[in-house]
Structure 1
Amino acid sequence: MEDTGRQRVLFISLLLTLVLLCSTLLSGGPLPRLLPEAVQAQSTPNVALNTADFKPAVIYQVVLDRFFDGNAANNDPSGDTGLYDSTKTNWKLYWGGDLAGLTQKIPYLAGMGITAIWISPPVENVHLPVYEPGSSAPEAGYHGYWARDFYRIDPHLGTWSDFDNLVATAHSYGMKVIIDFAPNHSNPNDTGEYGSLYQNGTFEAAYNNDPNGWFHHNGGISDYNNLYQDEYDNLADLADLAQENSSVDSYLKGAMAQFLAHGVDGVRVDAVKHMPAPDGGWLRTLSDSVEAQGAHYMVGEWYLSSISDPTYPYALKFANRSGINLLNFPLTTALRDVYASGNGASEVDSVLTQEKSGFLWLNDQAIFIDNQDMPRFLTLNSSSDRLHEALAAVLTLPGIPIIYYGTEQYLHNDTNGGGDPYNRPMMSSFSTTTTAYNEIKALSTLRQSNPALAYGTYQQRWINSDVFIYERQFFNNVVLVAINKGSSSYSISGLYTALPNGSYSDYLGTLLHGGTSITVTNGAVSTFTLGANQVSVWQYTAPESSTPEIGSVGPNLSRPGDQVIIDGQGFGSTVGSVKFGTTTATVNSWSPHSITVTTPNVASGLYSVQVCTSSCSNVYETRVSSTTQVAVTFTVNNAPSTNYGDNVYLTGQFDELGNWGTTTTTAIGPLNDPNYPNWFVMASVPACWTVQFKFIIIRADGSVQWENGSNHSYTAPCSGTGAVTVNWQY
């Protein structure tokens, strides 16, 4: 099946190229810029294509309303009129883009090498206009983040039939679909529909009509470094949903299940920083429910200003324990600092060096240079050279690259600094001849052909303020990247590489001021000149190994009985064995680059997965939960006094509760204390199981204070959510 899918993608790519050439000739226009010969020669996919592993992918982020109007009939739909602006002068109303429009442009995206699309939330948004304080200008949920009914498609965007057509068309081009899901909130709590939430048209609750506690009523966040405020207060005056309420839990997971049933391949979860808790909490139960319906890739938004952000350690813990990867904001900040603002290249290397020691799965985190919440890159720096350099980094550094819509067309609007909403202009061109379009196509092709970019390690090889040379390596597969953001040439000497002996032409040819060839002798690269603004890539794709080589195990959190997909090289066609630790898993399918297994019945924890044929592979870590997960709020009253830097944590039985760990990275927490000296935290625990637990204080000096007495015991509910409250045992 894997090979058949690849052949289909290759055929479609060839067909698109022929159509493009013919249409250009007939129109009398200029011929499109063709990719270098090296790109065309390496077009055969050499990595697996599936819903659990997005590492080889290039994701294209689309704000649906601002992409392309494919059906003018739904611009001002019946029952939801008055929120469309045909003049496109009110930047906070609908402008006409829809699901049908994106579907029509799938061939354009496929021609650019895009292999996945992330669409803005398509759920039904508020029907009434929203007014900011002191403003008479109406606003609408054109962006998708002001939901009123998670079970319906917004009528400005189309219908469920349109959604199904988009998914089917994308899949026919070998392209995966990521749904943006925003379970943190509904819509503004103080205007418009006042947070009102519906299920298939039936009213459930509103912020000002909430007898059953669907929302938190704690006011707005004033300190974004305070975890309690982040999780339980309103983000930007949006009505904050109470996930600990079983009705809310059921509502949100039911909505997610509906999208999965309509064929989405991945989930981007909005505002994960603003839902409990750092260890995963309710969101770990959400990922558990998603993966139980098939292997999917999940990525969440945890905004971080940098790796020095006070919440960075909690974000790492979340990514390593929740089953949900993260948008890599610290790396985004570094890339924007270096390529837009002129900082030294070492800033990017410094971030990656720290992240390598923190993330368990760095290649699963998503990397980007801008998105719908920040000024576009070209607003910060209008140089197309700087943009091309930043794109080259995004497409080749560790992580899954995301391209914000229109970047390939140099789309930006700098009004008022280019922030929201001016970072969301209408897509204005669909040219296939821009340098950025062809750069993305070239490096997307390389991601498919050389597994070093999808699965490889990262090593900085040569660096100064302007020049950044680094290497990605997956066993014998190597990609060497050189980026010079300076206006002067540099003589590069003393460069070493894992490339085998030989001469290597520039994979990108002259596309980005390059074309330089290098010679490698026993790891040493002969001295060469790296020109001003030059980006060059040299690569070696190794022959298929006879020894298994694991590059991915996805998803990175499963439970016994879930499907897990193992991707890599050298698996061969003869079925071998797969082990989680010492336990053999049941093999469901086997091909040279991808194996599907059922997670075996093992205790919860981190496991080393290994593939064995006539020889055995490297080991790759994955996390396993005990069984179906439910969210439980654990509260301890009257805890001992704490000083600044001291925090209460929960620890207990099973990996879900840290396996009795006593460090900040293993125990659950830190707990919240809005009613000091009472502390609480939401944790994900095995449904129906009885768990043993205790509370501890980890002092600022690292010392640990345990409760006295016997372990606390609690039997978790079999569905929904739960809560348990105890007194500190002195």
Structure 2
Amino acid sequence: MNKYNKLAFISLCTLILWACEPSDVRSAAQVDARLAQPKVAKISEQLPPYLTRDIREEVFYFVMPDRFINGDKSNDNGSKTLVESQGGFDPSSKSHYHGGDIIGLKEKLPYLQEMGITSIWMTPIMRNQAMQGDSSGYHGYWVLDFTAIDPHLGSAQDLKDLIDAAHALNMKVFFDIIANHSADVIKFKECHGEDGKQWLGETEGLCDYKTLEQVANGDTYSTFVSPGSEDIKTPQWLNDPKFYHNQGDSTWEGESAIYGDFAGLDDIDTDNPEVVKGLIDVFKGVVSEFKPDGFRIDTVKHVNMEFWSEFSPAIVEHAKSLGIPQFFMFGEVYDFTPEVLSQFTTTGNMQSILDFGFQSAVFQTLVERKGTDVLAMLFAGDHHYKDADSDASQLVTFTGNHDMGRFAHLLDVAKFEMDEAEKLARVKLSNALMYFSRGIPVVYYGDEQGFVGDGHDKDSRQDMMPSLVASFNDDDLLGTDKTTADSNFDQSHELYQDLVALAQLYLDHPALRNGQQAQVYAQSTPGLYAFTRTLDNKQYLIVANTATTDQSQTFTMNYQGYEPVVLAKDKTEQDGVVTINLAPLSYAVFKAKK
């Protein structure tokens, strides 16, 4: 049995044993019998009610509805009356709508619940401009109407039905919202010509950014809206160019990151008090109508900090006034350092942000094969997040997403050669670090089915339903002989089952969800990383091995009697001194008796 087959056996044992005491270890025949049926982890049914549940109890599933499953083919082409929101359907193109919708997502709630998911986060679902250039708004980030559901995805009633169905399963639903920009409607004569159809800019494809100083000195762009598009945004005030910055395209650096158009999208002037009030009112209205459980907020760092410090508390307080006491918002800040990320939860008054720092640390340790001290340095910065109403335990953690690509893809293009068994082992270890370290885990849709992808953005947004996209279907998926040309909702897939096991452990041992984290050991090379999670005087020791060889280390602990929750290769203990021996790319969890 090679080292990765050994690891696979350990993972299978974990599925069976989960949180069992040593006396519960079963025979091989019993193990085989138990493996005949896929395990499920309906942990949402055993958690506190969704309405009052703390955010640190959640396991998120991040899904792009258009790429999930088509529950209603009649909405594939979008609106039947609004030209700007119809069409763009081409399931053979990775750049267009594929037909997935809210009804389809509702049908698959049991699949998610049985994986141990408790909260669903959807990409933006508000009405989009169907086409911009040669691509469509399937992803949801080209909003025209901030108050209505995109007709490609269904109706307002469909959304309410989804939320009701999720709540009936004690699961939460989160919307992805945007305050930074709207769809690309406003044009600049100096770049787009008088008719908006020609290119006059000095830089190909880029309308050069004009600084605040240039604008103050009268050096501005001449804005216009093409005939027929003067009133296509909702609310109505969003149609007036005066409520946008109109300074050209962002260069992603300096002031342009806040005041420039995001790849041509109309950059909303969130410095304007009228805009601040208008957007607060818009999203209060969304909360009032649909009663979601929270928001993920897009492109947060491209908006001035003062906006968030006013917007965030206003929306949370409004939700509370409607009887949603645990309404929760987390923002996307594409940065990898706690010093920068934490500014948005402290100065910006946001409850949480996506922890890009965690993603980077896992990437460095498991893909680039740096030392586990990278993880230690990340968690050593957790103090930056501490303020009166939030801390690092509320950060939302992930390993890959729809912009940067899937974690399996990052492994696929790594400079180190590895076979499928090693890739699967690294994916599983990344999941374990995500679930058992501080923060709230997010599973990116399709990762549980071994999706890989060819890169970031469009190449990481595959179909769960049978796909017609050639560049998706030629992928070699992990852990299966299927391709994305097949339906991929296999509950026996080993990665799905791995997440089931992690979720069950998450449920059975509350300290693994929200216990205080403390570092025990790290090293400057691939190898062991150890930390504890402690809650109500119950302590767990978690040890991960990022190396491709067995690793052993001795720890002096304050607690005693560490018994296995997830088995290590070997463990000895005497008088508070614990020695752990771990197989390659594996992890172990121990619970102290006293």
Give the TM-score normalised by the residue count of structure 2: 0.74
Give 1:397 deviation, angstroms.
0.9
Q: Which amino acid aligns with 2:499?
A: I
Q: Which amino acid aligns with 2:458?
A: P
Q: Secondary structure at the match of 2:263?
A: helix
Q: Does 1:167 align with 2:167?
A: no
Q: Which residue, out of 448, 458, 462, partners 2:507?
A: 448
Q: Which residue pairs with 1:551 in the alignment?
A: none
User: 1:445–1:540: structure 2 CA closer, same or farther, 3 Å change rule?
Assistant: farther
Contact 2:39–2:500, Cα closer than 8 Å, also in 1:
no
Q: Which residue pairs with 1:430 in the alignment?
A: 489
Q: Does 1:405 align with 2:406?
A: no
Q: Which amino acid aligns with 2:333?
A: W
Q: Which residue pairs with 1:390 in the alignment?
A: 430
Q: Which residue, out of 297, 317, 339, partners 2:343?
A: 317
User: 1:221–1:67: structure 2 CA closer, same or farther, 3 Å change rule?
Assistant: same
State the Cα deviation string for residues 181-206 of structure 1 (Å, max 9, x = none): 11111012457987969688675444
Q: Does 1:222 align with 2:251?
A: yes
Q: Which residue pairs with 1:150 in the alignment?
A: 146
Q: Does 1:535 align with 2:587?
A: yes
State the Cα deviation string for residues 658-716 of structure 1 (Å, max 9, x = none): xxxxxxxxxxxxxxxxxxxxxxxxxxxxxxxxxxxxxxxxxxxxxxxxxxxxxxxxxxx
Q: Which residue, out of 489, 493, 501, partners 2:561?
A: 501
State the Cα deviation string for residues 214-243 of structure 1 (Å, max 9, x = none): 21111222242x2x3332222222101123
Q: Which residue pairs with 1:489 in the alignment?
A: 550
Contact 2:568–2:580, Cα closer than 8 Å, also in 1:
no
Q: Which residue pairs with 1:326 in the alignment?
A: 353
Q: Which residue pairs with 1:118 in the alignment?
A: 121
Q: Secondary structure at the match of 1:235?
A: coil
Give 1:34 deviation, angstroms.
4.1
User: 1:480–1:165: structure 2 CA closer, same or farther, 3 Å change rule?
Assistant: same
State the Cα deviation string for residues 92-140 of structure 1 (Å, max 9, x = none): 110111101111110000001001010111100004x211xxxxxx211
Q: Secondary structure at the match of 1:421?
A: helix
Contact 1:278–1:315, Cα closer than 8 Å, also in 2:
no
Structure 1: how far apart are the matches of 2:97 and 2:532?
44
Give 1:174 deviation, angstroms.
1.2
Give 1:344 deviation, angstroms.
1.4
User: 1:285–1:533: structure 2 CA closer, same or farther, 3 Å change rule?
Assistant: closer
Contact 1:51–1:266, Cα closer than 8 Å, also in 2:
no
Q: Which amino acid aligns with 2:311?
A: L
Q: Secondary structure at the match of 2:555?
A: coil
Q: Does 1:368 align with 2:370?
A: no
Q: Which amino acid aligns with 1:389?
A: L
RMSD of aligned Cα (Å): 2.9
Q: Which residue pairs with 2:65 in the alignment?
A: 64
Q: Does 1:254 align with 2:284?
A: no
Q: Which amino acid aligns with 1:442?
A: A
Give 1:411 deviation, angstroms.
0.9
State the Cα deviation string for residues 354-395 of structure 1 (Å, max 9, x = none): 223444400011111111110211111141111111111011
Structure 1: how far apart are the matches of 2:164 and 2:521?
45
Give 1:172 deviation, angstroms.
1.1
Q: Which residue pairs with 2:17 in the alignment?
A: none
Greater RCO (Cα-Cα under 8 Å, separation 6 or more): 2
Structure 2: how far apart are the matches of 1:378 and 1:117?
22
Structure 1: how far apart are the matches of 2:403 and 2:231?
27
Structure 1: how far apart are the matches of 2:543 and 2:334?
29
Structure 2: how far apart are the matches of 1:393 and 1:520?
24
Q: Secondary structure at the match of 2:284?
A: helix
Q: Which residue pairs with 2:98 in the alignment?
A: 95
State the Cα deviation string for residues 312-343 of structure 1 (Å, max 9, x = none): 64532321241331111112111111112212
Structure 2: how far apart are the matches of 1:145 and 1:470?
39
Q: Which amino acid aligns with 1:96?
A: G
Q: Secondary structure at the match of 2:55?
A: coil
Say which one has the larger Rg: 1
Q: Which residue pairs with 2:294 in the alignment?
A: 266
Q: Which amino acid aligns with 1:436?
A: L
Structure 2: how far apart are the matches of 1:202 and 1:57?
33
Give the TM-score normalised by the residue count of structure 1: 0.61
Matches within 5 A, 1:674-685: none
Unaligned ranges ≥5, structure 2: 1-34, 188-195, 198-224, 413-422, 465-483
User: 1:290–1:143: structure 2 CA closer, same or farther, 3 Å change rule?
Assistant: farther
State the Cα deviation string for residues 249-302 of structure 1 (Å, max 9, x = none): 344223322332212111111111111216844434544554553431110111
Structure 1: how far apart are the matches of 2:230 and 2:365?
43
Unaligned ranges ≥5, structure 1: 1-29, 132-137, 508-513, 543-730
Q: Which amino acid aligns with 2:432?
A: A
Give 1:48 deviation, angstroms.
7.2
Contact 2:50–2:167, Cα closer than 8 Å, also in 1:
no
Matches within 5 A, 1:550-561: none
Identity of counterpart residues, as a percentage?
A: 26
Structure 2: how far apart are the matches of 1:95 and 1:197?
29
Q: Which residue, out of 227, 248, 264, partners 1:237?
A: 264
Q: Which amino acid aligns with 1:122?
A: I
